[in-house]
Structure 1
Amino acid sequence: MIVIMGIHIAPAGVADFHQVLTDHPRYWGERDLRSLHLLALVQEFGSTCLVARAEDGIRGYIFGFVTPNSTGYVHLIATRDDARGTGLGRRLYVAFAEAAERHGARQLKAITSIENIGSIAFHRSLGFDMKIVDDYNGPGRAMAVFHRDLPLNVSWP
């Protein structure tokens, strides 16, 4: 567990997963991404599915896993509406990278829609390389695909 400024970053449990879904609009606004939240990730890859807890609840989370080719793949990362701009997303990424390295990861990967300029800027600020991959998510569904080597040495406010 990592503790920074009253926020505890620790592996997510099933109750955390359900709380994140209950509070979904606080993390994702109008976008309904509940279908991307897979309980199996928490159950099977618990050490790389992390939540940032404070006294007032879960402020953010990152769900991912390590692939057979030693890639730490980030499936979802989100911060609650009142935690944005605090560096929490960066802290979550660092915690995930450390957990992924313990499981043998040598690089990180993430994807987002090409329209998600906030996510693209965030990943680039973490030193990820990006390329647009046509048909990544099905015919006519290009995605921004990010890669970077580990370790993830970044600072936060």
Structure 2
Amino acid sequence: MIADLPPGLTARHLMDEDHLPVLAVLDRWWGGLKGQAGSTERALLLPRLYFDHFTTTSFVVERDGEIAAFLIGFLSQTEPGTAYVHFAGVDPALHGQGVGRALYQAFFAIAQSYGRHHVRCVTSPENSSSQAFHVRLGFTASAVKPDYDGPGLDRVTFSIELPVDAVAVPPAERYLGS
């Protein structure tokens, strides 16, 4: 089980069936950030391939069968010591309750179980709450990187070094309950 989730929340690995339910919460959870362009951008950042190919390194948190939070992450194919959080979201009604932190901690544990000790992620410069969250977790933020994801798609990048533990971390599946 993912540690430290509030009562009534359950976690599991992402499945392909989660694609449309996750897309359905994006505009509401992001409060219309960047208007219609932001809505399109968020949807394009989450194609089905993430829900098909990164299930063992990604999570969904549910409450009463509904999506309450998610984290889509993967292990870098190019940089053997690196893992990447591609997209994460938490229902605003659950902000400040440790759900995001619990998802990231579970992802960090998976990354470490595969020998990854560096985690990266990005957010838009307009998303100040995401920036503050990542800094609170211990990430180091970059300056705004113009056109990082294409023309007009500026980003702030984040990185964190995970501790190198002499004791092997158990396989990722042990971080979720049955």
TM-score, normalized by length of structure 1? 0.85
CA displacement at 1:139 relative to structure 2: 4.8
Q: Choose which of 40, 62, 65 in structure 1 pairs with 2:74.
A: 65
Distance in structure 2 (CA, Å) of the matches to 1:80 and 1:43: 23
Runs of 4+, deviation exceeding 4 Å = none
Larger Rg: 2
Q: Is residue 117 of structure 2 the alignment partner of residue 106 of structure 1? A: yes
Distance 1:138 1:147, change over 3 A: same
> TM-score scaled to structure 2, two decimals?
0.76
- Structure 2's unaligned 5+ residue stretches are 34-38, 164-178
Identical pairs, percent: 32
After the TM superposition, which of the residue ranges 137-146 and 126-135 deviates more from structure 2? 137-146
Matching of residues 37-116 of structure 1 within 5 Å? 37-68=46-77, 69=79, 70-116=81-127
Closer, same or farther: CA 30–141 of 1 in aligned 2, 3 Å: closer
User: Partners in 1 of 2:20 and 2:66 — Cα distance?
Assistant: 12
Structure 1 gaps of 5+ residues are 152-157
In the TM superposition, residue 25 of structure 1 has moved relative to its aligned partner by 2.8
Which residue of 2 is the match for residue 155 of structure 1? none
**Cα gap change, 1:134 to 1:35, in 2 (>3 Å):** closer
RMSD: 2.1
